[in-house]
Amino acid sequence: MLRFILHRLVYLIPVWIGISLVAFTLANLTPGDPARLALQRSLGRQPTAEETAAAREQMGLNDPAPIRYFNWLADAITGDLGTSYRTGQPVLDSLIERFPNTLQIAGAGLLLAIAIAIPLGVLAAVYRRSAIDHVSRVVALLGASMPSYWVAYLLILLFSVRLGMLPVAGSSTWQHAVMPAVTLGIGGSASLMRLTRSEMLETLNQDYIRTARAKGLHSRTLLVRHALRNTMIPISTVLGMRFAGMLGGAVIVETIFSWPGIGKLVVDAIFDRDYPMIQGFVIFMGTAFLLINLIVDLGYGLIDPRIRLANR
């Protein structure tokens, strides 16, 4: 097991180099002078040539691109991901400061998605073509067709404007996290619900389920210990991907709810050609994706003993 984990962690090194090179190249190929853009934002006006020249010097933008990349890479190896052109803050500090915020709403959103999708998906499969199956299909259809910004505004109208229960936006109390998490959760639950239903249906038609049922196994035990457990392999794969997607793609939700997460940070960085922040984000999220996949892979062993045995 330890060897497996170490082996996967070693993968991180070429992944880091590869994605940082791609991110650096793409960022540098896009038009725009980061110094000018950073000054425009901070001054609220067009910078003069002298101001731009001073800023370019300060940002180290006068060196050729390959030298800048290797300088950055050398620093990155020591844990220094550079300084944001846009905010002037160390990139790693900004990412570490913002990431837990996104983790909070993405984690809560994922739990909510699981809480909605798995029971409804299982029930829809067990009671196929019943009212509950139809209801779950409608719920999934609604969840999949409603854009996250629309769900967000609906939630604000209901819980803030109409009921006055929750603050519209911000991040200073736990109540502020409720609506962003619910928005992400609703979006994530739709496809998960349909996947659970289809996987469950397939499992319920397997011979071993029929055998277990014929042997008189209690239906709850049959469902939970045998059918659902076997269904969890593809579901956990999708959950891992969904969670990673929530971490990197929560920008709309973060903007509407003024939630200081990592998604909004990087979109602002892209518009401002904040190369160090873009590269830092790519490295950070690449690592997060890999770790999430690792956790999912390890989870397979817990769910299915055959995989655990095969790895020995």
* Contact residues: other proteins, CB under 8 A: 30-33, 36-38, 40-55, 83, 86-89, 153, 156-157, 160-161, 164, 167-172, 255-258, 260, 264, 271, 273
C-alpha–C-alpha distance, residues 275 and 38, integer Å: 11
- For other proteins, the closer CB: 6 or 163: 163
C-alpha–C-alpha distance, residues 293 and 299, integer Å: 10
- For other proteins, the closer CB: 30 or 71: 30
- For other proteins, the closer CB: 153 or 300: 153
- For other proteins, the closer CB: 237 or 255: 255
Phi-psi region of 120 (alpha: psi -120 to 50; beta: other; left: phi over 0): alpha
What's the closest the beta carbon of residue 177 comes to other proteins, in angstroms?
13
What's the closest the beta carbon of residue 124 comes to other proteins, in angstroms?
35
Instruction: Give the amino acid at 183.
Output: T
C-alpha–C-alpha distance, residues 267 and 133, integer Å: 39
C-alpha–C-alpha distance, residues 73 and 201, integer Å: 50
What's the closest the beta carbon of residue 275 comes to other proteins, in angstroms?
12
Where does 220-297 show beta strands of DSSP type E? Answer: none
What's the closest the beta carbon of residue 45 comes to other proteins, in angstroms?
6
Reported as half-sphere exposure (CB side, CA atoms, 13 A), residue 257 has a value of 39
What's the closest the beta carbon of residue 35 comes to other proteins, in angstroms?
10
How many other CB atoms are there within 10 angstroms of residue 171's CB atom? Answer: 18
Residue 83 bridge partners (DSSP): 90
C-alpha–C-alpha distance, residues 177 and 184, integer Å: 11
What's the closest the beta carbon of residue 131 comes to other proteins, in angstroms?
35
Residue 90 bridge partners (DSSP): 83
How many other CB atoms are there within 10 angstroms of residue 115's CB atom? Answer: 12
C-alpha–C-alpha distance, residues 187 and 17, integer Å: 33
- For other proteins, the closer CB: 88 or 100: 88
- For other proteins, the closer CB: 52 or 230: 52
Cβ distance 152 to 253 under 8 Å?
yes
What's the closest the beta carbon of residue 48 comes to other proteins, in angstroms?
6
What's the closest the beta carbon of residue 185 comes to other proteins, in angstroms?
19
- For other proteins, the closer CB: 138 or 161: 161
C-alpha–C-alpha distance, residues 43 and 37, integer Å: 10
Cβ distance 101 to 245 under 8 Å?
no
- For other proteins, the closer CB: 52 or 189: 52
- For other proteins, the closer CB: 80 or 297: 80
How many other CB atoms are there within 10 angstroms of residue 166's CB atom? Answer: 18
